[in-house]
A = this chain, B = another copy of it.
């Protein structure tokens, strides 16, 4: 292997020297945006090969002003829902010639803010926040400030699966119809004849996802002239264990419930487990619905009725909009549709 020197990265200068040209010429050959004679180009490319040269992205970013980098900040890398959105982000970023930075906050809202700051240091062209977030006034205010900070340096805050922060806050928003999906699935259960429907996972009312889904649940009841019975509303977190525990608790009381809506499919899988354990059949004895339509839902026993979210499309659109916001004044707020996927876990209530 000719010409490779150990211990230090070759630079344009080294290539220039090896090719007997100036650094400028090397740069031009590599960029291909300037006329260079064929013979010179050949010599330069040869030197690049010999020295095993690659460009220094940091140096290029420093002078060029852009890093061609997109950051995405996500609760976790695991978990079927977020991973699919993340996959959409990564694919679109790659398709647009960008590199992806990824960070996880494990549900810690303050950590999320820290990470945005970190991504601002990294000069990310866009900072995509995946999934729902807090909606307390303080948090929204800090978020608004951060959005403006990013704006000032030519970057862009992107909310993916979360409602806008405020009317005058510069941010790209790609959300899905969280409330509408919850309305639709609840409405479906009500149409089947259910009147005692439990809702599991209603804690954290200041969390955007939680509140939107619960609102849809409530509105569907209202549309049928009903009000939600608070004793049928259980709290908990977004995991399977929570769905299991909350269902167990509900079963100890005589609630008369004939259907359960889990705030996510994962929660619903815990609901199913608890019901099976109690010897109840789904959907004969009790109906169960989830939310998210993660791949696993089709494999549950029985296959779960749920609300479909366009996971990947969410991520892709987020990046696409953010990177092309200067083009023909695109609308920077997109609301993607959701729809109910009817499987085997729901049926009319038993005659009592």
Q: Which residues of A contact B (CB under 8 A)?
A: 4-9, 52, 54-59, 61-62, 67, 76-80, 83-84, 86-87, 90-91, 94, 99-104, 117-118, 120-123, 149, 152-154, 269, 296, 299-301
Contacts and interface: CB of A to CB of B under 8 A. Distances in A.
A244 to B, nearest CB: 12
Q: Which 5 A-B pairs have the closest CB atoms?
A: A9-B153, A77-B87, A58-B58, A58-B61, A78-B83
Copies of this chain present in the complex amount to 2
B87 A78 contact: yes
A54 B120 contact: yes
Nearest to A80: B78
B87 A121 contact: no
Contacts of A269: 299
Contact of A87 (B56, B59, B104, B300): B104
A67 B86 CA distance: 24
A90 B117 contact: no
Contacts of A80: 78
Contacts of A94: 103-104
A154 to B, nearest CB: 7
Contact of A121 (B55, B77, B121): B55
Contacts of A300: 299
B90 A102 contact: yes
A38 B9 CA distance: 40
